[in-house]
Amino acid sequence: MTPDDPAAAPSLGVRIGALTLKNPLLAASGTCGYGLEIAHLVDLSTLGGIVTKGLYLAARDGCEVPRIAETPAGLLNAIGLQGIGIRAFVESVLPRLQAHNTAVIVNVCGETIEEYAEVARLASQAPGVHALEINISCPNVKTGGIAFGTDPVMTHDVVAAVRRASRLPVIPKLSPNVTDITVFARACEEAGADAVSCVNTFLGLAIDVESRKPKLAFGTGGLSGPAIRPLAVRMTWQAARAVKIPIIGIGGIAAANDALEFLIAGATAVQVGTLNFSRPNIYAEIEAGLRDYLTRHDLKNIQALSGTLQYPR
């Protein structure tokens, strides 16, 4: 068999509950707009899917500027979930997205459990939405967001409400700003989640020493990028051992090896976030790296890699 024999090509396809992805690479919420914004730079059909910017029922203005500050190997942001709202997304974006042949995952937000459920219901009725990611972990809004993701009872209740409102795969996105992430992963599983995304940004603070003020207008912000990768890999590994549902690993992925770390730690798929900003076409490079790895390690498909960490070493 020659290496380019299609029969020999390792498979990158993965399953997350009822959701089938052609490869495990997703663009993370808040880092690819609603997909269309990056379509002239990335062939969306080469991605497993995209996760939209967080959507509430209504449009939102978000925080004041400055909203972003670069930190070592990281980005601190407080955007505050500026967005067009679920109805505008369904009416004006979704029809155009469908032509791009990629899975569309809606990042569902709410200030109340009822709002989460209603956004989920509207998203589920629209043709072309493949799954829901529940954002219970945004650190940059005054109501809702992280408040839901740092209390296991509230986490359970939001996930259960969305579960009742939708037949699509439901994927809560965990906050890393907790002592024991396994408690939250289990709460999600018990409430009927199909998978969990792991993780959102870490609460951080950057200070302008001259003015002695926070660098961001909101004050604190969420830290992302390679700086958080070992933390996110550790949490992915912990969550994967605590629940049976699949994990989507997120945090500082900048190369194929980074994605591999998450997969080996127990993730079934991964999301690339901050790196979309500086390397919009990074997916081709990561995908090639994954294929090369599978070939070198004689693996027929990428799912076989998930959770193969040998620990302790």
Partner 1 sequence: MTVASGGPPLDRLCALVKRESLGGAYALLTFEHEEVSRALAGQFAMIQPEISGDLLLRRPFSIMDVDSATGRFTIFLKAVGAGSKAVFDLRAGERARVLGPLGHGFSLPAASERVVMVGGGYGVAPFALFSRVLKPSPPFHLFYGGRSAAELPLVRELERRGIPLTLSTDDGTRGEKGRVTGPLVPALSVGEGTVRLYACGPEAMMHAVAGIAAEREIPCEVSLDPWMGCGIGTCLGCVVKIQEPGEGRPRNRPACTEGPVFDSRRVIWPQGGPA
Ligand X SMILES: Cc1cc2nc3c(=O)[nH]c(=O)nc-3n(C[C@H](O)[C@H](O)[C@H](O)COP(=O)(O)O)c2cc1C
CB-nearer residue toward ligand X: 113 or 304 = 113
Question: Which of 122-130, 142-150, 272-280, 289-297 is the region at the interface with ligand X (rule: CB under 6 A)?
Answer: 272-280
The residue within the footprint of partner 1, chosen from 47, 48, 67, 268 (CB under 8 A), is 67
Instruction: Supply 130's token pair.
Output: 């493949």
* Distance of alpha carbon 262 from alpha carbon 221, whole angstroms: 24
**From the list ligand X, partner 1, none, which binds 10 (C-beta under 5 to 8 Å, kind-based)?**
none
Q: Does 268 bind ligand X (CB under 6 A)?
A: no
**3-class secondary-structure state, position 248:** strand
CB under 8 Å to 210, separation ≥6 — which residues? none
CB-nearer residue toward ligand X: 82 or 182 = 82
- The answer to whether 143 and 84 have CB atoms below 8 angstroms apart is no
269 backbone dihedrals φ, ψ, rounded to 5°:
-145, 175
Q: Does 252 bind ligand X (CB under 6 A)?
A: yes
CB under 8 Å to 231, separation ≥6 — which residues? 176, 199, 202, 251
Question: Which of 143-151, 187-195, 224-232, 283-291 is the region at the interface with ligand X (rule: CB under 6 A)?
Answer: 224-232
Q: Does 86 bind ligand X (CB under 6 A)?
A: no
Q: Does 79 bind partner 1 (CB under 8 A)?
A: yes
CB-nearer residue toward ligand X: 19 or 235 = 235
CB under 8 Å to 37, separation ≥6 — which residues? none
* Distance of alpha carbon 173 from alpha carbon 270, whole angstroms: 12
Residues found near ligand X in the complex (CB under 6 A): 28-31, 53-54, 75, 77, 79, 81, 107, 135, 138, 173, 200-201, 224-225, 228, 250-253, 272-274
